Structure formats: structure tokens, C-alpha cells
């Protein structure tokens, strides 16, 4: 079996860095592990970012930035607060780019909640009841109905929860994966704290924030438990 290491060129490393924003050495290591396959190297870097983000998730984020984005000739406006651990990182171009991209995404995609855990009890039960009624109408057995409902709820989360939505500039990754990549690059925990979205003519605005209710955490199966209504 050949043990020859692939010859990774500087151009390949630069191409991967341009596509992912990852540090040069991380790009070189990923390309080496992927034997020069660019797409596989991108996957490896994303996995590393998610892993790093998970390790740093419990770290306090007391710095950050509040930013705004105005879209469609002043018809849609967004305010968003994104936190990190230090003022140094908050002032980097990478962090500012992330904040801008998320604000722009919120303007375009109109999420209603930050995370799965923040979905209100009313919204959670309403959607689940609708999906259960639809599935039951097909005449399928109860266990199958529940599996259908679980699948539809995951799709619901993807539609209304910011962190679950596909990023508008790259539909192959979610907003949570976008953030994880920045965590891996910057070395600090990063979290979306809250956002507000206003649209001219709408009688109500979307205002979402991270819930601190312990009853809203995901259960062991990964599905968000309904928060206790207050």
C-alpha cells in the first residue's frame, strides 16, 4: 500500500482558504488529509469548526456587537446582537463580516426564533397538532404517524429558527454551521443573543431572543421541549 503524501500546492491552500476563511495551516492539513480533494477538505474543516464550537459553547460571551441591516430600499430593517468573549475579537473583520451576514440573512429569511429551544409553547403545540392531524388522515398506524410528525417538526424548525436555516449565501450550510466555522477560526465562543426585524406595512415586528427558561432545553432525543408559557 502506497504511503506517499499528496503534494499540496500553495494555490490549493489559498483556494480553500478563500472558500472557507479557515487559517492557512488548517487548510493545508485538511487538504493533506483529504488527499487534495477540495470538497472533502471543506467538509473536514466544517466538522472541525463544529467540534471546536461545541467545546467552547459553555464559555461566557459578554462582548460583541449590535448591528443593523436595511434592505429593499428601506422597506425591511434588522437589528441583531451577536456576542463573543473579547472586545478584541468583536473588532476583527471576521466577526464584523459574520454579524453583517447574519443580519442580512434575517432580513431575507424572516426567522421567528433564534434556536429550537426558543420556540414558544403555543407555536410548538399548534404546529405539532396540525402535522399529527394531517398524518393521521392518511390512515397510517400511530407509530408511523409519530415518525411523520417528528420529520415535519424538524422541517418546521428549519423554516422558523435562525440557527437551523440554510445560509442564504451558501445553502449547503446552516447558520449554526456558519457560526461554528468562525468559532473555529477565531478561537472564541460566538452566540446570537437576540434580533428584531421590521417590515414597512406589517402591524407587528419579529422580536426574538435566547430563552433562559430551563424547561426549554432539548430533550435527550434532540427535539426541543416546549417552553413553559408565561
Using a cut of 0.75, tell me whether the model's pTM lies above it: no
d(CA 155, CA 161): 10
Q: CA geometry: angle at 79 spanning 78 and 85, to 5°? A: 135
In this structure, are 177 and 64 located in the same domain?
A: yes
In this structure, are 109 and 131 located in the same domain?
A: yes
The total number of structural domains in the chain stands at 2
The pLDDT of residue 52 = 65
For residue 13 the three cell numbers come to 491552500
Tally of helices (H runs) and strands (E runs) in the chain: 8, 6
Structural domain of residue 82, as residue ranges? 59-230
**pLDDT tens digit at each of 230 positions of the chain:** 445 557 888 888 888 877 776 777 888 888 888 888 888 888 887 777 666 666 777 787 889 999 999 997 899 999 999 999 999 999 999 999 999 999 999 999 999 999 999 998 888 899 999 998 998 898 888 888 889 988 999 899 999 999 999 999 999 899 999 999 899 888 899 999 999 999 999 988 899 999 765 444 343 333 333 333 33
In this structure, are 108 and 185 located in the same domain?
A: yes
In this structure, are 75 and 120 located in the same domain?
A: yes
Contact 47, 36 (CB under 8 A): no
In this structure, are 46 and 71 located in the same domain?
A: no
Contact 194, 81 (CB under 8 A): yes
The pLDDT of residue 213 = 52
Amino acid at each position: 500500500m502506497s504511503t506517499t503524501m499528496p503534494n499540496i500546492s500553495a494555490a490549493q491552500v489559498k483556494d480553500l482558504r478563500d472558500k472557507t476563511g479557515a487559517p492557512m495551516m488548517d487548510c493545508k492539513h485538511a487538504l493533506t488529509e483529504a488527499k487534495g480533494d477540495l470538497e472533502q477538505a471543506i467538509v473536514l474543516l466544517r466538522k472541525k469548526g463544529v467540534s471546536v464550537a461545541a467545546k467552547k459553547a459553555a464559555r461566557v460571551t459578554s462582548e460583541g456587537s449590535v448591528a443593523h441591516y436595511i434592505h429593499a430600499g428601506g422597506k425591511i430593517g434588522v437589528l441583531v446582537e451577536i456576542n463573543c468573549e473579547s472586545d478584541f475579537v468583536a473588532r476583527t473583520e471576521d466577526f464584523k463580516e459574520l454579524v453583517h451576514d447574519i443580519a442580512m440573512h434575517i432580513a431575507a429569511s424572516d426567522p421567528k426564533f433564534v434556536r429550537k429551544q426558543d420556540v414558544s409553547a403555543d407555536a410548538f403545540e399548534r404546529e405539532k397538532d396540525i402535522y399529527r392531524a394531517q398524518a393521521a388522515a392518511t390512515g397510517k398506524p400511530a407509530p408511523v404517524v409519530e415518525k411523520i410528525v417528528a420529520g415535519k417538526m424538524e422541517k418546521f424548525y428549519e423554516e422558523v429558527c435562525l440557527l437551523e436555516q440554510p445560509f442564504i449565501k451558501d445553502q449547503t450550510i446552516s447558520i449554526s454551521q456558519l457560526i461554528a466555522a468562525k468559532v473555529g477560526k477565531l478561537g472564541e465562543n460566538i452566540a446570537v443573543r437576540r434580533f428584531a426585524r421590521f417590515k414597512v406595512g406589517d402591524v407587528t415586528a419579529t422580536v426574538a431572543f435566547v430563552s433562559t427558561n430551563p424547561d426549554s432545553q432539548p430533550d435527550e432525543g434532540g427535539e426541543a421541549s416546549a417552553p413553559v408559557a408565561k
